[in-house]
Amino acid sequence: MNASPRQVQFVVKTSKFCNLRCRYCYEYAELGNKAAIAPEQLEQMFHNIASYYRQLDFPVDIQFVWHGGEPLLQSPDYYWQAFDLQHQIFGELANNITNAVQTNLTVLNPERIRLLKDGFDEVGVSIDLFGGLRVNRSAVDSLDIVLKNMDRLNEANIPFGCITVLTKLNLPHLREIYNFYRTMNLSFRVLPLFKGSFDGQHQGFEISAQETLDAFCTLVDFWLEDQEFVSVVPIVDYIQQVIHHYTSNSSLIFYDKREWENIYLVNTTGDIYSYADAYEIERSHGNIFTTPLTDLIVGERHRQIIIEAEERMAATCSTCPYFGSCSGSPVAEGSRQYNDIDEWGAIRCIVDQGTLQHIEYRLKQARIINPQTGKLDIEQIKLPAFVPSLATAV
Ligand code: SF4
């Protein structure tokens, strides 16, 4: 029996409703829609999830990531009620549940501060710092209000991390972005643009896979030359993967979607997806409001999606030198913003493999990895005891 719990995340789209109109938002077409998942639907969803994880004979950590739209536009009571339902429905398993929220942090009042402090376990703030793309309906940049509200979170001693979306408009400011988070002592995740809500949405600020790779390599260099530890995801994950690759006798890690799926996305309708298949209804596993997860997992749709993920890994990862240190999940889950397709239709793993190669090159240059023997001098590299994974942003 595996002693350490397995992890699973449910990214729940509470509602698409939002007070902002961020120009790259993949929910753009629906941001005026006030419909939210009803409490009875949440209750049904929790039952359908709990019944699956309760019958497993190994421990599981379940995280709900509350997404929108802007999830904090819902009344705080909505979430207090959801947390109560979790306790009632999951029973003993409730101790293994955490709740995270990904917010634009433009709407804050004392009740919401209390919710963030005492209700949610993790808070993720979306802020790009440069580019002016996170605007309200009157096209006014939300940056100043978000910065003020971050100060309010600090005053209230609420820990939080940030997500910055990489676009053509903030690429020239990577140094300032890195320094901002370093000075503020904040963890941050850098997220390349996700697919848009309509054709041409990203015109003027789109970035290619190669530009994403260049940006990641630049962040690697900032990180390696820094005396301080700065938690920048996914850079620290990549560094750990290269260290794993050069650590003798480390056990290999392979993503096995057939055995364990670690992230699901739940739409406001209850349709549930693998992360990268969001809203392609023909690729939904089914509906989690009406159907137990146990049934969805063994369903024909899910089986077909697993086969396709396995085929992607076989075509791309099987020849990759890092396979086993990188689990292959970036290709299995088809992170389109990270990759191109080659002439035979296979994924070219540009960003992940390219960043790992760059780190390997830099560590050899610095003699942290001996280029002749491949021996790793682990003492030379600052490593955290624990690198937090920031709330997932689709
Ligand atoms: S780096 Fe890319 S190709 Fe290599 S194992 Fe990871 S996902 Fe697969």
The pair phi, psi for residue 228, each rounded to 5°, is: -85, 155
Euclidean distance between CA atoms 62 and 5, whole angstroms: 9
Question: Is the Cβ–Cβ distance between 359 and 238 less than 8 Å?
Answer: yes
Instruction: Please tell me the distance between residue 259's alpha carbon and the centre of ligand 1 in angstroms.
Output: 19
Q: Which of 354, 329, 327, 377 is nearest to 235 (CA)?
A: 354
pLDDT in the model for residue 173? 98
Name 15's bridge partners: 36
Which residues have a Cβ under 8 Å from the Cβ of 107 and sit 6 or more positions away? Answer: 19, 70, 72, 73
pLDDT in the model for residue 275? 82
Euclidean distance between CA atoms 310 and 303, whole angstroms: 11
From the alpha carbon of 356, which atom of ligand 1 is closest?
1
Question: Is the Cβ–Cβ distance between 37 and 24 less than 8 Å?
Answer: no
Question: How confident is the prediction along the chain (394 residues), in pLDDT tens digits per residue?
Answer: 456 899 999 999 999 999 999 999 989 999 999 999 999 999 999 999 999 999 999 999 999 999 999 999 999 999 999 999 999 999 999 999 999 999 999 999 999 999 999 999 999 999 999 999 999 999 999 999 999 999 999 999 999 999 999 999 999 999 999 999 999 999 999 998 887 888 899 999 999 999 999 999 999 999 999 989 999 999 999 999 999 999 988 899 999 999 999 999 999 999 999 987 888 999 999 999 999 999 999 999 999 999 999 999 999 999 999 999 999 999 998 765 556 777 777 889 999 999 999 999 999 999 899 989 988 887 777 665 434 343 443 3
Which residues have a Cβ under 8 Å from the Cβ of 228 and sit 6 or more positions away? Answer: 182
Q: Which of 178, 134, 184 is nearest to 21 (CA)?
A: 134
Ligand 1 touching residue 234 (CB < 6 A): no
Report if pTM > 0.95: no
Pocket test for ligand 1, best of 317, 350, 359 (most atoms within 8 A of CB): 317
The structure tokens listed for 77 are 């009571």
Ligand 1 touching residue 353 (CB < 6 A): yes
Euclidean distance between CA atoms 356 and 325, whole angstroms: 10
3-state secondary structure 271-335: EEEEHHHCCCHHHCCEECCCCCHHHHHHCHHHHHHHHHHHHHHHHHHHHCCCECCECCHHHHCCC
Q: Which residue minimizes the CA distance to atom 5 of ligand 1? A: 323
Euclidean distance between CA atoms 108 and 106, whole angstroms: 6
Q: Which of 280, 133, 281, 129 is nearest to 201 (CA)?
A: 133
Question: Is the Cβ–Cβ distance between 311 and 287 less than 8 Å?
Answer: no
Helices (H), the chain: 39-54, 76-90, 110-114, 143-155, 174-184, 209-225, 235-245, 293-298, 300-316, 329-332, 350-365
Domains annotated on the chain, with CATH? 6-207+259-271 (3.20.20.70)
Which residues have a Cβ under 8 Å from the Cβ of 208 and sit 6 or more positions away? Answer: none
What is the three-class DSSP state of 82?
helix
Pocket test for ligand 1, best of 320, 335, 336, 347 (most atoms within 8 A of CB): 320
The structure tokens 């409703």 sit at 17
Sign of the torsion angle spanned by Cα atoms 92, 98, 99, 105:
positive
Instruction: Please tell me the distance between residue 186's alpha carbon and the centre of ligand 1 in angstroms.
Output: 28
Instruction: Please tell me the distance between residue 318's alpha carbon and the centre of ligand 1 in angstroms.
Output: 8
Tell me which DSSP letter residue 220 carries.
H
Q: Which residue minimizes the CA distance to atom 3 of ligand 1? A: 317
pLDDT in the model for residue 345? 75
